[in-house]
Amino acid sequence: MSKKVGSDIEIARAAKMQPIEKIAEKLGIPEKHLFRYGPSKAKIDLHYVDELRSRPDGKLILVTAITPTPAGEGKTTTTVGLGDGLNRIGKKAVICLREPSIGPCFGMKGGAAGGGYAQVVPMEDINLHFTGDFHAIGMANNLLAALLDNHIYWGNELGIDSRRITWRRVLDMNDRALRSIVASLGGVANGYPREDGFDITVASEVMAIFCLATDLNDLSRRLGNIVVAYTRDRKPVYARDLKAEGPMTVLLKDALMPNLVQTLENNPAFIHGGPFANIAHGCNSVIATTTALKLGEYVVTEAGFGADLGAEKFFDIKCRKTGLKPSAAVIVATIRALKMHGGVAKEDLGKENVGALKKGIVNLARHVENVKRFGIPPVVAVNRFVADTEAEMAALKQACAELGAEAISCTHWSDGGAGTEELARKVVQIAEGGKANFRTLYPDDMPLWDKVRTIAQDLYGAQGIIADKKVRDQFAEYEKAGFGHYPICMAKTQYSFSTDPNLKGAPSNHVVPVREIRLSAGAEFVVVICGEIMTMPGLPKVPSANFIKLNARGEVEGLF
C-alpha cells in the first residue's frame, strides 16, 4: 500500500488493452456476434444472447457496502478487483457494472469506471458517450413526451388532464434551469401552456425499464405500460394509448445489446444500463447479468449505495423479477468509514482509533445481518487505505468473526487482482459450499404499506413508518388499480439507515416518514420517497467543465 499509484487516468492510459475480439474469445463469443464500437468496445448481438438461454448459469456474487461516506467506500473498484482476483485464481469470472452518466462528469471531477489498478477501460469512452445507450434512452423518453403533448395539441381524444401529466422530459446534463419550466408558450401553434420539467436521463423510468427488461418483447411490453398522465376523472393514461412503445423500442433496439469492455488485467466486463439508485433500483441491466451468467463461471456485480438500499433492491426487485439466485454477497467496508460511524470527525479519520472503530462496527453488523435475512452468506471486503493500522485491521477481523462474516483485507486499488486473491478464494469457498438459499424479504401479495414497514423495521431498525392521509390513500389507490403485487423501491438518503443523513452507526427506534409515492408501472415497482430526492443535479460554482479539454496530444484532460 506504500507503492506509488498514479492518477486513474494515467493508469488507464498506460493500460495494454487487448482487442475486444480477444476478450470476447475468452468467453467463447464468436466474432460474428460482436457489434464493435472501435477496437476496444463491442455490443453482443441479441440473437446470440437468446441462443445462450438454455445454458446453465454461473455463480452470481453481489458486491454491496456499509453505509457510505460521501466519497464512497469503493464498491466499483472492489467489484473490478474481485473479478480480476477470481480470474487470477483460475476462475472464468465476468464483471457487470452500471454505465456512468455523462452529465455529472462536467460538474464534479471524477469518472465512474473504478480507480487505481482496479479499473475498466477504455475509461474516457466509458465516461463519455460510450456506445450511445443513454442517448437512446433519452430519445425514447423524450419521444414519449413529444407524443403526449402532440396528442393534446391535436384534440386530446384521450381526455388527458394537463395538470396530471406525470411524464417528464430528460437530458443527460446537470442543468438546474430545466428542473421546473412552463412549456408550450408562444401562442396557438405551440400548444397548451403547462408546467413541466426535465430530469437527468438516468432518472428516467425508461432507464429502469431498460435495466429490468429480459428481451425486446418484454421491453416493449413494459414501455407500453408506463403511466404518463391521468384523465380528469383520474383514470391512468398509458404510453401504449399513445402508441409509443413501438417507436421507443425501435430507438432502444441497439442499446439493449450488452456492452463488453475489459479490466486493466484484460478480463471481460459488461457495462450496461445505469438507473438511479433512489427512485429506481440502481443495478446494471438484467440482460447483461443473465448473459454474463451464461458465459462465465462467476459473475461479480454491484448495486448502488449501501446494502440497505442497493442490496435490498437488488434482491427484492432485480432477483425477484428475474429468478436470479446470488451465491454470496461481499460487503465493502473501510476502516475510515467505520470510524466515522463510531463518531470520529472527518479531519481525524487519518489517526488510529480502535475504540471508535469498534463502536462504528454496529453499522457493518447490521448490514451483515440484513444480507443474511435474504439467505445470502456475506463476506466483508476491507478496502485498505494507507492510514489504516494493523491494530485497527485486527480489531475489525475479530469483530467480523464474531458476526459470522470473515473480514478480508483487499489492496486492489494499488495491486489490482493480486490484492483480492484472498477475497476471491473466500468467495469461491462460500459459493461452492452451496450455503446460499436466496429468499426475498417480503412476498408479492403483502400489502404495499406492510412491505414498506417490513423494510423499515427489519432492515433499517425503525420502529415503524408514518405518512399523511393523502399518501396512505395513494397506497390504497395503487392496490385498487391492481399494482399491489409490485415490489417497493425505496428512495431515501444513502448516508444513514434512517432518513436523517446525520444519524450514523446503526440507529434504532427511529420512524421513517413516507413523503410521497410514485408508480413506475413499466418498471413494475412502487417508488416510496422518504426525504428530498434530486432528479436533476446542478453544476457547482466551479464546474469541472472549466478544466476539461483536449491536450496537444489529443488526450482528454481534466475529466478525471
Cite the active site residues. Answer: 75, 77, 98, 109, 277, 305, 385, 413
Whether residue 93 contacts residue 297, with contact meaning beta carbons closer than 8 Å, is answered with yes
Residue 373 buriedness (CB in 10 A; 0-12 / 13-18 / 19+) = middle
Distance (Å, whole) CA 25 – CA 31? 8
The residue whose grid cell reads 458486491 is 63
Q: Does 172 contact its own copies by CB under 8 A?
A: yes
318 belongs to an annotated ligand binding site: no
Nearer to its own copies, 83 or 522 (CB): 522
12, 23, 102, 277: which one contacts its own copies (CB under 8 A)? 102
Nearest to 380 by CA among 416, 335, 344, 342: 335
> If DSSP codes are grouped into helix, strand and coil, which group holds residue 274?
coil
- Count of beta carbons in the 10 Å neighbourhood of residue 30: 11
Which member of 5, 17, 89, 143 binds its own copies (CB under 8 A)?
143
Q: Per-residue x/- mask for its own copies, residues 29 to 48, rule CB under 8 A?
A: ------xxxxx---x--xx-
Complex with its own copies: residue 85 or 104, whichever CB lies closer: 104
- Please choose, out of 1-9, 305-313, 319-327, 537-545, the segment that lies near its own copies by the rule CB under 8 A: 537-545
Q: Is 71 annotated as a binding residue?
A: yes
List of E strands, 352-392: 378-383
Per-residue mark of binding to its own copies, 144-163 (x: CB under 8 A) = -xxx-xx--xxx--------
- Among 86, 66, 80, smallest CA distance to 115 is for 80
Residue 238: CB minimum distance to its own copies, A:
15
Nearer to its own copies, 14 or 177 (CB): 177
Which of residues 1, 89, 128, 533 is near its own copies by CB under 8 A? 128
C-alpha to C-alpha distance for 52 and 33, rounded to whole angstroms: 12
- Binding of its own copies at residue 22 (CB under 8 A)? no
User: What is the pattern of x (binds its own copies, CB under 8 A) and - over residues 498-527?
Assistant: ------------------------------
Residue 404 counted as an annotated binding residue: no
The residue from 196, 199, 302, 415 that contacts its own copies (CB under 8 A) is 196
Number of residues this chain uses to bind its own copies (CB under 8 A) = 75
Q: Which of 171, 354, 481, 503 binds its own copies (CB under 8 A)?
A: 171
Cα–Cα distance for residue pair 146/226, rounded to 1 Å: 15
75 marked among binding-site residues: yes
CB of 80 to its own copies, least distance (A): 24
Measuring CA to CA, which residue among 244, 314, 247, 306 is closest to residue 275?
Answer: 314
DSSP 211-251: HH-SSHHHHHHHHHT-EEEEETT--EEEGGGGT-HHHHHHH
| By CB under 8 A, residue 553 contacts its own copies | no
Q: Which residues, listed in sequence order, are joined to residue 528 by a DSSP beta bridge?
A: 490, 517
User: Is residue 186 part of the contact set for its own copies (CB under 8 A)?
Assistant: yes
SS (H, E, C) 406-463: CEEEECHHHHHHHHHHHHHHHHHHHHHHCCCCCCCCCCCCCCHHHHHHHHHHHHCCCC
C-alpha cell at 76: 466499483
Minimum distance from residue 537 beta carbon to its own copies (Å): 10
Which residues 238-267 are close enough to bind its own copies by CB under 8 A? Answer: 243-247, 249-251, 253-254
Instruction: Assess 17 for contact with its own copies (CB under 8 A).
Output: no
Query: What residues form the annotated binding site for ATP?
Result: 69-76
